[in-house]
Amino acid sequence: MKDKIVNYLSDLQKEELKDATALENFRLKWLSKKGIIQSLMDEFKTITDVQIKKEIGKLINELKQQAQIIFDEKKQEFEKHQDIQIEDDLTLELNLNTSGSLHPLSIIKNEIIQIFSKIGFVVSDGPEIEDDWHNFTALNTPPDHPARDMQDTFYIDIEKQDITQDIKLLRTQTSSIQIRVMENNEPPIRIICPGRVYRNETISARAHCQFHQVEGLYIDENVSFADLKTTLLYFAKEMFGSDTQIRMRPSYFPFTEPSAEVDISCTICSGKGCSVCKHTGWVEILGCGMVDPKVLDNCGISSRKYTGFAFGMGIERITMLKYRINDLRLFFENDIRFLKQFENEC
């Protein structure tokens, strides 16, 4: 292993990084999760001899540091170069006719609202800085409930807070709005709640520390699972086209019983199987279920008289499926070349 790392150290010096693409390839090859250094680390873990481990660990560190230095320096160089080019090009034509357009997430959010408003849902809103009660406890997720681990939470200044007061946090789900609306209104309630949510996740192509959800809630006398299914089938067909099918899989959420996850037939291969649907023909779009009677009671609504359904979906997920976008980070970088592609969509 020692020889291998020494060879890598000399390979590293031979890398030619001519442009930003070469730099990205360099990052993937050396520094990414599937890169050379990570695979050495994995191999390192299997070494049992302490002395060898020490020696190899040192070499891997050296390799990692050198790769990082090369990457950082080149990156800075390319960025500087780019700025200079843009600032110095006085011949660029001034286009005063450009106008802004909606962000793809806003386009899809508006479409979701429009689809549900046609069947009587109205928009409700709530705060992004929430308290523990609305985000968790009232949703049948008390402090020691294992389901809290499903959502890694950003707490706000937890040390400074008086423990007799409710702890403040960044909401992890728009389900908190359900509680606020139920506490303050009598059924029938039929709401749709779009909003931003936060989770302590490492940023990658599939996860982000901030994203957007739409929550739906319908409470009345005699609301049934059949109503839920019909509503979601209607939504899927409006959003993804009239041929779209849905399927429901049993699942678990603390605030609904029974709970389900809903898949739509893959919009790319029409259910035949492709890489997007991982050859299953189906892709997941949301979670849902019948509101747990405990949640109704927590909000002062009689669970003897009323029943209801709820659902929650990620706006990013729907947008990615609709526009075939494969990296979540694109939504937050605001690269004009990405955003311009949606100019004509609204």
| Interaction site with ligand DAH (CB under 6 A) | 173, 175, 215, 253, 256, 287-289, 310-312
What's the closest the beta carbon of residue 261 comes to ligand DAH, in angstroms? 8
Shortest distance in whole angstroms from residue 311 CB to ligand DAH: 5
Q: Is the dihedral of CA 164, 168, 172, 176 positive or negative?
A: positive
SS3 label, residue 295: helix
My answer on whether omega of the bond before 146 falls inside 30° of 0, hence cis, is: no
- Shortest Cβ contact with ligand DAH: which residue? 312
Judged by CB, which is closer to ligand DAH: 195, or 289? 289
Nearer to ligand DAH, 244 or 256 (CB): 256
Closest CB 53 distance from ligand DAH, rounded Å? 41
What's the closest the beta carbon of residue 245 comes to ligand DAH, in angstroms? 20
By beta-carbon proximity to ligand DAH, the closer residue of 173 and 244 is 173
Rounded-to-integer distance, Cα 340 and Cα 314, Å:
23
What tokens were used for 96? 């005063």
Q: Are 55 and 71 in contact (CB under 8 A)?
A: no
Residue whose CB is less far from ligand DAH, 104 or 254: 254
Give the residue with the Cβ less far from ligand DAH, 11 or 152.
152
Identify which of 247, 313, 259 has the alpha carbon closest to the alpha carbon of residue 291: 259
Instruction: Return the structure tokens found at 265.
Output: 């037939």
- In the complex with ligand DAH, the residue whose CB is nearer, 37 or 214, is 214
CB 176 within 8 A of CB 135: yes
Distances (CA, A) of 37 to 13, 41, 306, 325: 15, 6, 58, 29
Q: Give me the least distance between CB of 287 and ligand DAH, in Å please.
A: 3
Closest CA to 126 of 192, 82, 51, 190: 192
What residue type is assigned to position 331 of the chain? F
Cβ(145)–Cβ(214) under 8 Å? no
Please identify, using beta-carbon distances, which residue of 67 and 139 lies nearer to ligand DAH. Answer: 139
Beta carbon of residue 238, minimum distance to ligand DAH (angstroms, whole number)? 19
Q: Least distance (Å) from ligand DAH to the CB of residue 283?
A: 16
What 3-state DSSP class applies to 284? Answer: strand
